[in-house]
Structure 1
C-alpha cells in the first residue's frame, strides 16, 4: 500500500490566532532585550555605581558665594564713580573704564591660571598670594629668586597687608563721616573729635567682624551688608532725583 499524505488546511480563524501568538512573542522578546540593555547600560554607567563625593566642612551655596564675591567688589565706593567721570572727562572716562576693566580681567585670568598650574605642579590644593609668589621663585630659572623665595613671600604678604590697611582706612573714614552726619548733633564737641570717636567705634566693629574666618559667617555678614547697601542706594537715588 502506498503512503498516504495528510493535507492540513488552516482556516482564517487559526491563521489569525497564530499571527497574534507570533506578534506577542516578538513583543516579549523586544521587552526582554530592552530590559537587558537597560540593565547593561545602568551597570556600565559610572553615575549609577559611583556616587559623587559630598562636600563637607566650611561649604556655602553658589548663591551665597556669588553674593559674598560681589559684595567685596561692588561696595559704597561705586558712588564716587560719577565724580571721577566728571574729573576725567566724559569720553576719556568712558573709554578708560573699559580699558582698565579689560586689563584687570586679563591680569586676574593669568594669575588664576598660573596659580592653578603651580598648585597642581607642587601637589597643593590651592595657593594664596604669598605662597604663589614663593612657588614662582622656586620654579624659576634664576638662582637668586630660588634662593630668596621665602623673602619674596614675606614681601608679598606685607604688601597685601598694607593694601588691605589702606582699603580699611578709606572705609573707616567713609563710615565715620556718615555716622557724624547722622548722629553728630547728639554727641557734642568739635567735628574732629566726633570723627575720632566714630572712627574708633568703626575700627572696633571692623576688627570684630574680621576675626571670623568661616565662609558661612562671612557670607551672612555680606548678606546683611547688601541689605543696608540697597537701602542706602535707594535713599541716595531718591535724593539725587529730587
Structure 2
C-alpha cells in the first residue's frame, strides 16, 4: 500500500474485506501516520493556534447577540456552553477516527471524505453500500458550508463598508455597488496559495480582532440596561435559529481538518491541553461573553452583526467597522482555502497536469469561486439568516452526525468489547445532528422567504 496520501480514484479500489483485513493486521498498530506525513509547508503549533482562532473569530461572534435574542438570556448562556462542548467533542472524535483509519490502512493522511468511506467499510454490513457515495456527500457539505462562510463574509464587509462610507457621501450608494467594488480585493486574497503564507496575515487579523472586541465591549458596557428587561427564555420557533447561528459561530470543521493535516507536530493537536482544546476554550468563552452582554445591552434592537448597532456618527465605531472588515477580509483567504483544496486537488488537478501552465487553471478556479460567493451575496443579502442556515444545514451533519457515524464504524470490529454507552452516545449525537439540520433549515428558509416577500423589501 502506498505511503502517500490516497486520492479518491485510488481509494475507490478498496473493498470491505480489504479494509477489515487491515483492521486485523497487527502491524498496523506499529505504524504511526504522523511520522510519515510529507507536508510541503507545515505549520507549527503556534501558527496552527493562530489560524484556528482566526478561522473561528469571524462574523459568527458578532452575530451571537442576535442568537441570544432568539434564545433568551438563560437559554443562550447554557446552550452556548453545551454547543461549544458538543462541537469540541465532535472534532475530537473526527480527528481520532481519521488517525485510527490511517493506522489500519498504513497511510500518512486521509481527508475527511476518504475517512468517511473507510469508516463505513469498517462498520456494519448494511452501511457498506453507502461507502461509495459518502466521499462525494461529505465534499458537497464541506464545499457548500465553506462557500457559505465566504458568502457571509462578503455580505458582512459590504454592509459595514456601507455603514462606514455612506455618511460621507451626498447620496448613499446601494449595497450591491459596494459588493461589486470589493470583488477584486477578494480575488487577490484568495490567490494566496498555501496556509503557511497566510500566517502573518492571520496574526495581524487576530490583533485587529482583539482590538475591535475591546472597543465593542466599551460600547456595550457604556450604557448597559437593567437585565430584568431581557427575557430569560425565547420561543421554541426561534430556538433553531439560535442553534444554527451558534453552531456556525463555534464550529470550524473544514478549517480544523485542513489545519491538523498541515501541522508539523499533529500529535499536539489533540489531548487535554492540545491546540484544539485550548483554542475552543477561549473561543467558546469569547462567544458566550459577546452574546450575553451584547444582547443585554441592545435587547430587541440587536442587529445581525453587533457592529451595525454601534452609533454611526462616532469615529470610534467607524474604526471598529473598518478594522473588523479588514480582519474578515483576511479570513476569507483562510476559509476559501478549504473548498479550493477540495475541488482542485480532489477532482480537477489531474485533468490539467499535462497541460501548459496548470497553475493558471487553478487560479481561474479561485477567481470563479470568488465570483460565485459574490453572486450569492448580491441576490440574498440577509446576513443573520444566512449564518443560521449554513450552520444548521451543513454543520449539523459535518460537525455532529458524520463524526458520530464514523466513531461507531471504526469501533464496530471491537463489538465484543464495544460498550453500549458508546453506541447510545453516538446514536444520540446523530439524532441531535438530524434534528438540528431539519429544524434549523426549516426555520431559516421560512424566515428568508418571509423577508424576501415582505412588502417593505419588494418596494
- Fold-level match, TM-score > 0.5? yes
Deviation at 1:148, TM superposition (A): 5.1
SS at match of 2:133: helix
Task: Name the counterpart of 1:68.
Answer: 51
Aligned residues: 187
Distance 2:100 2:170 in 1: 58
Distance 1:137 1:64 in 2: 33
Q: Deviations over 1:1-35 (max 9, x none)?
A: xxxxxxxxxxxxxxxxxxxxxxxxxxxxxxxxxxx
Distance 1:79 1:217 in 2: 27
Distance 1:207 1:81 in 2: 28
Note if 1:126 corresponds to 2:109.
yes
Indicate which of 140, 165, 179 corresponds to 1:199: 179
Q: How does 1:104-115 map to 2 (within 5 A)?
A: 104-115=87-98
Q: Deviations over 1:31-79 (max 9, x none)?
A: xxxxxxxxxxxxxxxxxxxxx99x9841333222211111112224213
SS at match of 2:218: helix
Kindly tell me: are residues 222 and 129 of structure 1, through their superposed partners in 2, closer, same or farther at Cα, counting changes over 3 Å? same
What stretches of structure 2 of length at least 5 have no aligned partner? 1-34, 223-459
Distance 2:150 2:96 in 1: 29
Deviation at 1:186, TM superposition (A): 5.2
Distance 2:66 2:129 in 1: 47
Task: Name the counterpart of 1:236.
Answer: 216
Distance 1:124 1:87 in 2: 46
Deviation at 1:190, TM superposition (A): 5.2
SS at match of 1:230: helix
Distance 1:201 1:131 in 2: 39
Runs of 4+ in 1 over 6 A off after TM superposition: none
CA radius of gyration, larger in: 1
Task: Name the counterpart of 1:7.
Answer: none
Task: Name the counterpart of 1:80.
Answer: 63
Kindly tell me: are residues 210 and 123 of structure 1, through their superposed partners in 2, closer, same or farther at Cα, counting changes over 3 Å? farther
Distance 1:113 1:56 in 2: 20
SS at match of 2:191: coil
Kindly tell me: are residues 56 and 131 of structure 1, through their superposed partners in 2, closer, same or farther at Cα, counting changes over 3 Å? closer
Q: Deviations over 1:151-201 (max 9, x none)?
A: 22112101111111211121111111111111234567654x3x1222234
SS at match of 1:58: coil
Distance 1:104 1:85 in 2: 18
Alpha carbons 2:113, 2:138 under 8 Å: kept: yes
Q: How does 1:30-69 map to 2 (within 5 A)?
A: 57-69=40-52
Alpha carbons 1:76, 1:229 under 8 Å: kept: no
Alpha carbons 2:166, 2:172 under 8 Å: kept: no
What stretches of structure 1 of length at least 5 have no aligned partner? 1-51
Aligned-residue CA RMSD (Å)? 2.8
Q: How does 1:134-153 map to 2 (within 5 A)?
A: 134-142=117-125, 145-147=127-129, 149-153=131-135
- Normalising by structure 1, what TM-score? 0.66
Q: How does 1:154-193 map to 2 (within 5 A)?
A: 154-185=136-167, 191=173, 193=174
Distance 1:121 1:208 in 2: 41
Distance 1:56 1:95 in 2: 40
Higher RCO (C-alpha 8 Å, min separation 6): 2
SS at match of 1:59: coil
- Normalising by structure 2, what TM-score? 0.37
